[in-house]
Amino acid sequence: MRKSSRRPNVLVPLTLGGATEPKLAVVTQQARAFDACVTLLHVLGGALPSPDAPRPAAESEAQSFLADVRDELRGHGLCAQAAVRYGDLPTTVAQVAQEQGASLIIVGASEAGLLQRRLVGGAGLAGAISRASRSPVLVVRRQAADIARAA
């Protein structure tokens, strides 16, 4: 059997204004460990606007934010690309993971999400992404990211 020469891909969904630094420390560590390319993704809710319609400001803001993060990763010598998509978050993340052949999806655990899971017993966003996708999902908590940054 011939081994694939395709580079592994790590998919990283990001929210605007979220605490990306802790997650990016783990992303950098994982990408280096597996010589993987990183795909940064921001998902805007709703349907894709028609081609004739002007692009929403939220799309431009997301593209600018992702370009900054992508450039930061590239500055650390990593392969990185960025994409903005429209749709339901877990479903869209799963679709992009399949399209990209993602070896891993890295999501951050928010304090609100942790609280909700403890009180309501839900699996939160990571669980929804995990159920929708065939790729493994790594949930990064702030403490784990602090350890990764120190390494």
pLDDT, tens only, 52-90: 777 788 999 999 999 999 999 999 999 999 999 999 999
Determine, yes or no, domain membership for 135.
yes
Percent of the chain with pLDDT over 70: 79
3-state helix, strand, coil in the chain (%, to 5): 50, 20, 30
Determine, yes or no, domain membership for 92.
yes
Query: What pLDDT was estimated at residue 91?
Result: 93
Higher pLDDT, 41 or 19: 41
Determine, yes or no, domain membership for 49.
yes
Determine how many CB atoms are found less than 10 A away from the CB of residue 4: 8
- If you average pLDDT over residues 13-34, what whole number do you get? 85
CATH number at residue 71: 3.40.50.620
Determine, yes or no, domain membership for 3.
no
What is the C-alpha separation between 105 and 132, in angstroms, rounded? Answer: 12
Among residues 80, 40, 89, the alpha carbon closest in space to that of 62 is found at 40
| Triad 23, 27, 31: Cα angle to 5° | 175
Q: Which domain holds residue 98?
A: 9-150
Question: What's the token pair of residue 122?
Answer: 């839900």
- DSSP letter, residue 39: E
Determine, yes or no, domain membership for 130.
yes
Higher pLDDT, 108 or 85: 85
Total-model pTM:
0.81
3-class DSSP state of 139: strand
Number of domains in the chain: 1
Percent of the chain with pLDDT over 90: 52
Determine, yes or no, domain membership for 2.
no
Q: Is the pLDDT of residue 42 over 80?
A: yes
3-class DSSP state of 72: helix
Mean pLDDT rounded to a whole number for the chain: 82
Determine, yes or no, domain membership for 134.
yes
